[in-house]
Amino acid sequence: MLLTYTSGKKNKIHISIDGEYRFTVDADFWFSLGIYQSTQVSEEELEALEAEIFTRRAFNKAMDYLARRAHSKKELIEKISKTSEKKYAIIAVDELEQRGYVDDAAFAEQYYDYLQRVKHFGARRIATELSRKGIDRSIIAHLEEINEADPCAEITALLQGKYAGKFGDEKGKQRTINALLRLGYNYSDIRSAMALYDESY
């Protein structure tokens, strides 16, 4: 099979096999491969080249996502797999992990703080959200240990702020309880915090 290529716009190289267009890559990457114009390639060589090109695409896509915000390894693979084969997504993300660009422990620490401080989630809901991101249970347990908080105090702060004036009657109280349960707080802690709140106001 005869491999040929032509230069395109924006530093792109268009590659053809036996005169038929096959794929496009960035010029810097292409010339780093050292493949000459009008090169004969075997089926095995073409498969290896395609794997290298598709892995490069997955790598670049991952870098684009990471430039916007930190990601867990699982969610990054899932996002890339929407436009690339999963096997190439895994190879690309594994390489990024080895380079230190993907770090589940660091991501989990940042995400835990966000969920607790900004979203006001309880420990149970935080653990669920971290698990959905593919964070290992041992990492979650460690974060729960170092971020141990008083759930009643957290609930009381919400009752004084976000839910102030929303539970004056029984119907409003039940809606507030349901909302707090969705945030990941235990029913017993909610009732205790409400009782203390009622005594104080």
Query: Tens digits of per-residue pLDDT, 65-122?
Result: 999 999 999 999 999 999 989 999 999 999 999 999 999 999 999 999 999 999 999 9
What confidence tens digit (pLDDT) does each residue in 53-67 have? 999 999 999 999 999
Q: Give the Cα separation of 44 and 41 in Å (integer).
A: 8
Residue-level pLDDT at 199:
57
Q: Where are the alpha helices (H) located in the chain, listed in sequence order?
A: 27-32, 43-68, 73-80, 86-98, 104-117, 123-132, 137-146, 151-160, 170-182, 187-200
Q: Give the Cα separation of 81 and 70 in Å (integer).
A: 17
DSSP 168: S
In percent, the amount of the chain with pLDDT more than 90 equals 59
Q: Identify which of 161, 159, 148, 160 has the alpha carbon closest to the alpha carbon of residue 122.
A: 148
The side-by-side arrangement of strands in the sheet containing 12-17 is 20-26, 12-17, 2-7, 39-40
What confidence tens digit (pLDDT) does each residue in 169-186 have? 788 889 999 999 999 998
Structure tokens at 133: 């991101």
Residue-level pLDDT at 34:
87
CB atoms within 10 A of CB 73: 19
Strand, helix or coil for residue 119? coil
In percent, the amount of the chain with pLDDT more than 70 equals 98
141 pLDDT band, cuts 50/70/90, is very high
